[in-house]
Amino acid sequence: MKPLLLALLALLITPIVVLAAQPEGRGPGGGDGPPPEIPIIVVDPGHGGTDTGSTECQGLTEAKANLDISLRLEVILEATNTYDVRLTRTDNSTLSNNDRYTFANSVDGNALVSIHLNGSTDHSVNGTQGFWGKKNKDEAFTNTVHLALANNLGISNRGVTNFPSGVLLKSNMPATLQETVFISNTTECQLLKDGTGNRQQQIAEALAQGVRSWFAK
């Protein structure tokens, strides 16, 4: 009798184990499982150190403006204790692409936003543009973040396209590189240097809106 009872108990327990092993759903970016309770957002201020980025706005390098916007984005996202923000740099350090994606992967980021300002020798050109690396990993996230920029910055939308940046390609999480505005544009340059920080704050708020929209999906 004992072997029979054990067999019946095993049959009753087995379905419970199988049901418990089923996936709970798909999180942002198509990954398995629900969204993390407090997502880790890696914010990557483009350029830095010996790599100044665009210098077409006299008196303000792209690298410095990128860091300003990134620090503001960190404050905005962490204000409600909803996101955990990690910056690839917090000062004027020189970083390689390897440094950036290695850091992002080491902290198990759930999303990566690389912040840049576009540049041109034609100071009349302006607009906002987004880039993704791997289609399945990055494109949807890039579209979501970029839509917030396009809807809130009051400048032309130059769209979203592929860009084989190592930061995007070799990061494990959904990643985007956003050329938020043209720092070389005469009007943008003046706004970014007017001492109020209003334009930087506006860009950071738009990026934050895009991140929130992504994790609300």
pLDDT of residue 88: 98
Residue 2 lies in a domain: no
Higher pLDDT residue, 217 or 207?
207
pLDDT band at 30 (very low <50, low <70, confident <90, very high): very low
Is 200 among the domain residues?
yes
Is residue 19, in this structure, part of any structural domain at all?
no
pLDDT of residue 36: 81
Domain count, the chain: 1
Q: Could you write out the DSSP letters of every residue in 161-217?
A: EE---HHHHT-SS-EEEEEEEETTSHHHHHHHTSSS-HHHHHHHHHHHHHHHHHHT-
**How many other CB atoms sit within 10 Å of the CB of residue 17?**
8
Q: Is residue 13 part of a domain?
A: no
Ramachandran region of residue 150, left (φ > 0), alpha (ψ -120 to 50) or beta? alpha
Residue 17 has what pLDDT? Answer: 34
DSSP annotation of 4: H
Task: Give the C-alpha separation, 3 to 188, whole Å.
Answer: 80
pLDDT digits (tens, 9 = 90+) for 113-124: 999 999 999 999
Segment of 11-15, 29-33, 127-131 carrying the highest mean pLDDT: 127-131
Looking up tokens 């860091």, which residue turns up? Answer: 67
Examine residue 4 and state whether it is found in any structural domain, yes or no: no
Mean residue pLDDT across the chain:
89
pLDDT score of 9 more than 80: no
Flag whether 115 is in a domain: yes
Give domain status of residue 140, yes or no. yes
Torsion sign across C-alpha atoms 28, 32, 35, 38: negative
Q: Is the pLDDT of residue 129 over 90?
A: yes
Residue 10, in any domain of the structure: no
25 has pLDDT over 80 = no
Q: What is the mean pLDDT of residues 42-49?
A: 98
Q: What is the pLDDT of residue 199?
A: 98
Q: For the domain that residue 92 is a member of, what is the CATH number?
A: 3.40.630.40
pTM: 0.85
* Domain coverage including residue 196: 38-215
